[in-house]
Amino acid sequence: MTVIRDAAGRYFASFVVSATDEPLPPTDAEVGIDLGLTHFAVMPDGTKVAAPRFLRRAARRFKRLQQALSRKQRGSNRRGKAVVKVARAHARVADTRRDWQHKLSTTIIRENQAVYVEDLCVVGLGRTRLAKSVHDAGWSSFVAMLEYKSARYGRTFARVDRWLPSTRM
């Protein structure tokens, strides 16, 4: 077992367990997911999953905590406490986003036999003025969750090339 302490002062125990995963019963449904910024995901049947924008919602709190941190003298105990406060705020946003993505990916995998996702250039979009919105969306971690959960539960997962002219088919 390995005990890990993160920047927010939280402790985690990490250990390895071998477990066998049973595949889910097969279904006939297939879904192609279009990821975006205004709507996090758009399904082929027209349902739209709203982007929760966790980072944008916490921006005012981040600003206040960063300002308080920048006023503290380097090397002081109060600066150390302010650093932990900022790290806790960031950890809360990251944990909330991860929890939401786990719930959404699990429902998608359970309801569909095959999942197709557009292969986006997240790194390229991260260099544009949309960088904060792309980071807030968390597409790559969501797609990674879909990929490993589909392998775990016996589902099909595929990435569709971003240059594929699917609208002309």
Q: What is the pLDDT of residues 142-167, one digit of tens each?
A: 999 999 999 999 999 999 887 877 66
pTM: 0.86
**Residue in 111, 120, 114 with CA at minimum distance from that of residue 157:** 114
Query: What b/e readout covers 68-80, taking b as 16+ CB neighbours within 10 angstroms?
Result: ebeeeeeeeeebe
Q: Please tell me the total number of residues recorded for the chain in this structure.
A: 169
Top-confidence range, 17-21, 91-95, 116-120: 91-95
The mean per-residue pLDDT over the stretch 120-129 comes to 79
Instruction: Domain ranges for the chain, please list them.
Output: 32-168
Where residue 75 falls (left for φ over 0; alpha for ψ -120 to 50; beta otherwise) is left
